[in-house]
Amino acid sequence: MNRPSSPEKPFRSRGDREGKISLSTAVLVNVDDHEAARYARTRVLQQAGFLVHEAATGVSAMQLIAEVRPDLVLLDVHLPDVNGIEVCRRIRARDEGTGMIILQVSASAVSAPHATAALNIGADGYLIEPVDPDVLVATVRAFLRLRAAERALSVANTELSEKNAALNTLNKALRRSNEDLEHFAYVASHDLQEPLRNITTHLQLLERITTGRFDDSERHLFDVVVKSAQRMSLLIHDVLAYSGLGKQVMESQPVDLKESLDWAMQNLSEGISEAEATIVADKLPVVRGDRVQLGQVFQNLIGNSIKYRSHDRALRVEISARQDDAGEWTIRVADNGMGIAEQFLPDIFLPFKRLHGFDIPGNGIGLTLCRRIIEAQNGRIWAESVEGEGAAFLFTLESVAD
């Protein structure tokens, strides 16, 4: 066994490099029983900057490989004790041999069956001698680059798997937290209904008993209490609607949006009549989603148009649909109402976000419900507006395959 050293390039085992192969510090083992051929090959590789160890037999080669754990082995097929192909099989069977590059070399076993047998048993390549020195060096470098890329990819995949596992853990914790929060909101809101109902009932009784007894100041204070109770009741209703939405099972099925729109307009008929609003809808498509929930989206959006209508022109709401090249539908609900200032557009879908005082009814939960419904059905929702000219709400829905 011959293990020449290189004083300017200290030995580093493959295990020390942990998957990083540097061409200037790569460790090679050159195995050949023909001393002259072995020497010539080693000289070429050393001049190319590699640290090369030598062995003349199969047994000594396996001992050397186990000790130095090289990056690449040049292995002669015909050895005096153990056939080179068998040596390759034994190396591959050991743990330290799984990631090692093995190039079989032969000047006599030059037939296709010889090369096939070597490659099938685990060799990475098969070189027929004589090999041009430049070709030998280029081949070694190419295999080292390939193995370095494979190891870098393996490390990246391991890191990605670890990060995905951590992300999954965080997502599970976040889902549990959200479920707990929704459950708390639902229970708390439900439990608040009974005492609020008692307050409202007693206020109504008090109003009947004290009819005509309050002066203007006392009547104002009483009205403030009544209106506050009404707002609290509406707020509890909205919180229950928001938290209860997560408990509903969405039925994803073909939905005729015209039916959902008709359902919403029936619920809003009184408000539409009072506002003298004109609702115009193009032909609406059949999409994939939940019919009732999509009806709630139309109800909230048109209801918003009614609440935030301009007082100097008749309200007009236009509903249209267009399909993109990928088949996705975009639904647009546009009005000519008060509009929304540009700086408020990013925040309007946040829970309980109000842009106006309590002179306009509502608690700022309607658009949040819309976003939650649309996102649950794999869509997106956003708003476009010019303040004073009107607002448009757009959302996407999946098409139904023909």
Q: Is 7 contained in some domain?
A: no
Picking from 100, 131, 162, the residue at the C-terminal end of a domain is: 131
Inform me whether the pLDDT recorded for 285 exceeds 80: yes
Same domain, 224 and 264: no
308 shares its domain with 229 = no
| Residue-level pLDDT at 364 | 67
In a domain, residue 239? The reply is yes
Q: What are the φ and ψ backbone dihedral angles of 184, each rounded to 5 degrees?
A: -65, -45
d(C-alpha 2, C-alpha 53), whole Å: 6
Asked if residue 155 belongs to a domain, the reply is: no
pLDDT of residue 240: 64
Q: How far apart are CA 338 and CA 275, in angstroms?
A: 14
Res 396 pLDDT > 80: yes
261-265 mean pLDDT = 94
Q: Do residues 265 and 378 both lie within one domain? A: yes
Kindly state the average pLDDT of the residues 19-45.
Answer: 85
User: Residue 335 pLDDT > 90, yes or no?
Assistant: yes
Residues in the chain: 402
Mean pLDDT to the nearest integer, 23-52: 91
Residue 268 lies in a domain: yes
Q: Given this model, what pLDDT does residue 320 score?
A: 96
pLDDT at position 388 over 60: yes
Asked whether the whole model's pTM tops 0.85, one would answer no
For residues 233 and 261, state if they share a domain: no
Cβ(205)–Cβ(179) under 8 Å?
no
**Same-domain check for residues 367 and 390:** yes
Q: Do 196 and 58 sit in the same domain of this protein?
A: no
Convert the pLDDT of each residue in 307-319 to its tens digit: 889 988 999 999 9
Chosen domain end from 212, 245, 278: 245
Is 200 in the same domain as 292?
no
DSSP 139-200: HHHHHHHHHHHHHHHHHHHHHHHHHHHHHHHHHHHHHHHHHHHHHHHHHHHHHHHHHHHHHH
pLDDT digits (tens, 9 = 90+) for 107-163: 888 899 999 999 999 999 999 999 999 999 999 999 999 888 888 898 899 999 999
Among the residue ranges 191-205, 224-238, 325-339, the one predicted with the least confidence is 224-238
User: Amino acid letter at 273?
Assistant: S
Q: Is 205 in the same domain as 97?
A: no
Last residue of a domain, one of 245, 261, 285: 245
Q: What percent of the chain has pLDDT over 90?
A: 49
Domain count, the chain: 3
| Residue 228 forms part of a structural domain | yes
The predicted pLDDT at position 250 comes to: 61
My answer on whether 204 and 317 are in the same domain is no
Helix, strand, coil share of the chain (percent; to 5): 50, 15, 30
pLDDT for 358 equals 53
Q: Which residue has the higher pLDDT, 218 or 307?
A: 307
pLDDT band at 9 (very low <50, low <70, confident <90, very high): very low
| 235 and 293 part of one domain | no
pLDDT of residue 311: 86
Per-residue CA distances from 237 to 33, 51, 189, 200, 365 (Å): 89, 77, 8, 15, 10
User: Is residue 389 located within the same domain as residue 269?
Assistant: yes
Q: Give domain status of residue 146, yes or no.
A: no
Provide Rg for the chain, Cα atoms.
Answer: 39
Mean pLDDT, residues 75-93 taken together = 92
Res 6: pLDDT: 42
Q: Which two tokens stand for residue 333?
A: 């609900």
Q: Which two tokens stand for residue 40?
A: 């010539």
pLDDT band per the 50, 70, 90 thresholds, residue 241:
low
Task: Confirm whether 31 is domain-assigned.
Answer: yes
Query: Cα 86 from chain centroid?
Result: 48
Which range has highest mean pLDDT (18-27, 89-98, 246-255)? 89-98
Domain identity same for 290 and 394: yes
* Domain ranges, residue 87: 14-131
What's 33's domain CATH number? 3.40.50.2300
Average pLDDT, the chain: 84
pLDDT at residue 63 in the model: 93
Does residue 278 fall inside a structural domain? Answer: yes
47 pLDDT above the threshold of 80:
yes
pLDDT of amino acid 314 = 94
pLDDT for residue 8: 37
The secondary structure of 302-359 as a DSSP string is HHHHHHT--TTS--EEEEEEEE-TTS-EEEEEEE-SS---GGGGGGTTSTT--SS-TT
Peptide bond into 7 cis (omega under 30): no
Bridge partners of 28? Answer: 52, 72
